[in-house]
Chain A
Amino acid sequence: NAGVTQTPKFQVLKTGQSMTLQCAQDMNHNSMYWYRQDPGMGLRLIYYSASEGTTDKGEVPNGYNVSRLNKREFSLRLESAAPSQTSVYFCASSGQYSNQPQHFGDGTRLSIL
């Protein structure tokens, strides 16, 4: 039962470097999401994709780009990493209809020096 798989689990970057966080789900879900979790701020939505080929900004999209490669995969890219982007990043997915719970991966812990 893989569910939502995120890679890598840990990463350290230098300011200005770029990186892509990968996410894949095997539940045939239409919707996928990227969140960041910071102490004192809770989880905040970065971007989401309601279906293959569509993406929308969430609460904190600045500094990030996303790609919905196919129904299974949704990647998050940091083009020029900044220390303020140090965080734990979670990918989630949910079914086609509303009122279905979101399923989360185990997260990527990203430190930017």
Chain B
Amino acid sequence: KQEVTQIPAALSVPEGENLVLNCSFTDSAIYNLQWFRQDPGKGLTSLLLIQSSQREQTSGRLNASLDKSSGRSTLYIAASQPGDSATYLCAVETSGSRLTFGEGTQLTVNP
């Protein structure tokens, strides 16, 4: 059974810092890995999707990497802003378009 773990569970940083969120998964037979953002009381917003054949994806200040063989992904956020405060979720897609989610990292960026 696929298991996804995210570390740390919570992170608080001052504005302007660069930061890294970590995600690990137990079964390397994945189609892709997805990073989502969830604001309080809201649904999930897709940030980046890395296909199993890719090593990284970038969108603006966000960069996600994937090392499938070791079962790890990182989400790098450059020059963090208070508006980046949210919970960040990692999910891996296996057969039948099924996503297995981690529990998330709650990020607070302090002005």
Contacts and interface: CB of A to CB of B under 8 A. Distances in A.
Contacts, number: 60
Given A42-B103, A94-B97, A99 B46 contact: no
Interface string A80-95: 0000000000101010
Interface residues of A, number: 26
B96 A43 contact: no
A40 B34 CA distance: 20
A98 B42 CA distance: 25
A95 to B, nearest CB: 10
A106 B43 contact: yes
A23 B43 CA distance: 13
A33 B91 CA distance: 14
Interface of A: 4, 31, 33, 40-45, 48, 50, 56, 58, 90, 92, 94, 98-107
